[in-house]
Chain A
């Protein structure tokens, strides 16, 4: 069955640096991948979506890449700020999902941006 692996270890970086988070999946290539942000005590919030046929997607300081050969998506935050500190979740939509709305979720990676 399809699984998602995200770094379980927290990522600590210095303010202003680029944070890079990894999402690896096993088995088949998903139709698309989504990235969500979750703050402590809050629900996840959608950030970006990248489709199977897209290599890269950008939104302000955020960039997502998708490499179907490596079975990997990378999530970058450039010029990171302490306010970017949160847990980031990766979720994928299986191919040929049709009306199936079951996302497969990673456990998330905690990011801490130090001032």
Chain B
């Protein structure tokens, strides 16, 4: 399996612009997670889906953030409008219910908002 695939790997954008991060989970996995990682706060769970349905979005920082999962093989995380404090690495991860809470991460999308 190719693992969790994220795009873009790197993005530099200007403040106020819309950012869309994309994720393809591992085939057959029924959970999908969006995490944000910074040096100060470490890994923070933003939102997770089960069978394409959002289960917990309590980690989404503001209304500027939104996530969708239109089907089992694709998810997006949008930030609109972006701000410099959104600069971080955004990880998508997936898991299968039979694997307990072991999750598989993508390589991350490195976002810089200037």
A→B interface (CB under 8 Å): 32, 34, 41-46, 49, 89, 93, 97, 99-103, 105-108
7 tightest A-B CB contacts, nearest first = A43-B105, A107-B42, A105-B43, A93-B101, A44-B105, A46-B102, A43-B107
Q: Is the CB of B95 within 8 A of A101?
A: yes
Q: Is the CB of A102 within 8 A of B56?
A: yes
B→A interface (CB under 8 Å): 4, 31, 33, 42-43, 45, 48, 50, 55-56, 91, 93, 95, 97, 100-108
Q: Is the CB of B56 within 8 A of A44?
A: no
Q: Is the CB of B107 within 8 A of A101?
A: no
Distance (whole angstroms) from the CB of B99 to the closest CB of chain A? 9
Q: Is the CB of A99 within 8 A of B102?
A: no
Q: Is the CB of B42 within 8 A of A103?
A: no
Q: Is the CB of A102 within 8 A of B105?
A: no
Q: What's the Cα separation between A93 and B106 when bound, in Å?
A: 21
Cross-chain pairs A/B with CB under 8 angstroms, 16 sampled: A32-B100, A34-B102, A43-B4, A43-B93, A43-B108, A44-B91, A89-B43, A93-B100, A99-B55, A101-B31, A101-B33, A101-B48, A101-B101, A103-B101, A103-B103, A106-B42
Q: Is the CB of B101 within 8 A of A45?
A: no
Distance (whole angstroms) from the CB of B10 to the closest CB of chain A? 10
Q: Is the CB of B42 within 8 A of A34?
A: no
Distance (whole angstroms) from the CB of A7 to the closest CB of chain B? 13
> Which of A45, A97, A100, A108 sits near B105, CB closer than 8 Å?
A45
Q: Is the CB of A42 within 8 A of B108?
A: yes
